[in-house]
A = this chain, B = another copy of it.
Amino acid sequence: MRKVSELGERKVIQTIIGCLETMPKMPIPFGDDVSAVKISKTALAVVKTDMLVGKTDIPPGMSLRQAARKAVVMNVSDFAAKGVKPLAALVSLGLPITFDEENLRQIGLGLNEGAREYGAYIIGGDTGEASDLIISCSLIGICKKQILIRRSTAQLGDIVAVTGEFGKTAAGLKILLDRLDVPEEIRKPLTEAVFWPKARLKEGVVLAEAGFLSSSIDSSDGLAWSLHELSVASDVGFTIDFVPLAAEAIEFARFFNLDPLNLGLYGGEEYELVVTVKRKFWDNAKKAMENLGSRLIKIGEVTEEKRLIVKNGVEIMPIEPKGWEHFKS
């Protein structure tokens, strides 16, 4: 019988979902960024839970405060992808018995920061003893039924776009996990991207409320994986002409003689939005983001042919359906 280490996170989830009775008329299918229940004819309660485990999810050098903040922010990012403002969060904490009052305070401060930065409040939770530090955060928000953008509704001809550059977190994680010796001016911006992730909440809310998007996901499992998920859910292909890479990531790649495109495509723990924009709304969508002081970067187009490719100059390469996955190292 296969162990979870052989199955990988996605098959683990499939196995468990296979044992569950599905809620009739479930407003959002299993596997999307968030879940929802109908609360009136027109409104949904949107919920999401995501767990951070010390051993696997907190890289060396990240403080407890940063980790606690991140546990909230990574959930907010999923709300951002669906254009929903979180109202409140619940937190379940598993605490090693060796933790002291100052550790608790750092966790409390980080949780509060993560919530307040995005307008939410921590309203409850639970604690217990555990071998690893566990921070399980659940968010709740309310939205109009028609606001919520699925993963499955990208249309032929739509523009594929992202809200920022890629590669910094992948490079930063590599520095921290492999304890790489790099000049401070490269190390700092890359590790800061890991320590202080930002969710694109205001961008997601504006894009969703204006009805500009046909599909959306966050890039927490990496750009390639996000594109893969959107294309499979929508049953379309994407041709990617351009992967926006952060200057610091390019510099890092040059320093270690790595392919920067790989850093940008196959990283993870990045919280940009990956969206398809209805073509007629492209100019408006781009302008709306600029008005927020943000960006919407065109990276490609939705194609009929169901393949995922990236054009790198004259070279055309397939985008592999791979990305960050728990249980697999």
Residues 141-176 of chain A: 1 if any B CB is under 8 Å from the residue's CB, otherwise 0? Answer: 010000000000000000000000000000000000
Interface-forming stretch among A14-22, A275-283, A309-317? A14-22
- Is A100's beta carbon under 8 Å from chain B? yes
The bracket for how many chain A residues form the interface is 35 or more
> Contacts A92-B136, A104-B12, A140-B140 hold; do A129 and B34 have CB atoms under 8 A apart?
no
Interface-forming stretch among A49-57, A227-235, A245-253, A288-296? A49-57
Q: Which residues from chain B contact A37 at a C-beta distance below 8 Å?
A: 87-88, 123, 140
In the bound complex, do residue B126 and residue A50 qualify as a contact, i.e. CB atoms below 8 Å apart? yes
Q: Which residues from chain B contact A128 at a C-beta distance below 8 Å?
A: 9, 51-53, 56-57, 326-327
Sample of 12 further A-B pairs with CB below 8 A, known A16-B108, A26-B121: A3-B98, A12-B104, A47-B88, A49-B90, A49-B92, A49-B125, A49-B138, A51-B126, A57-B128, A92-B136, A127-B327, A130-B134
Main secondary structure of the interface of A (DSSP, over half): mixed
Q: Tell me the minimal C-beta distance from A16 to chain B in angstroms.
A: 4
Q: Which residues from chain B contact A55 at a C-beta distance below 8 Å?
A: 129-131
Interface-forming stretch among A109-117, A195-203, A205-213, A258-266? A109-117
In the bound complex, do residue A93 and residue B16 qualify as a contact, i.e. CB atoms below 8 Å apart? yes
Instruction: Report the Cα distance A276→B163, complex, angstroms.
Output: 54
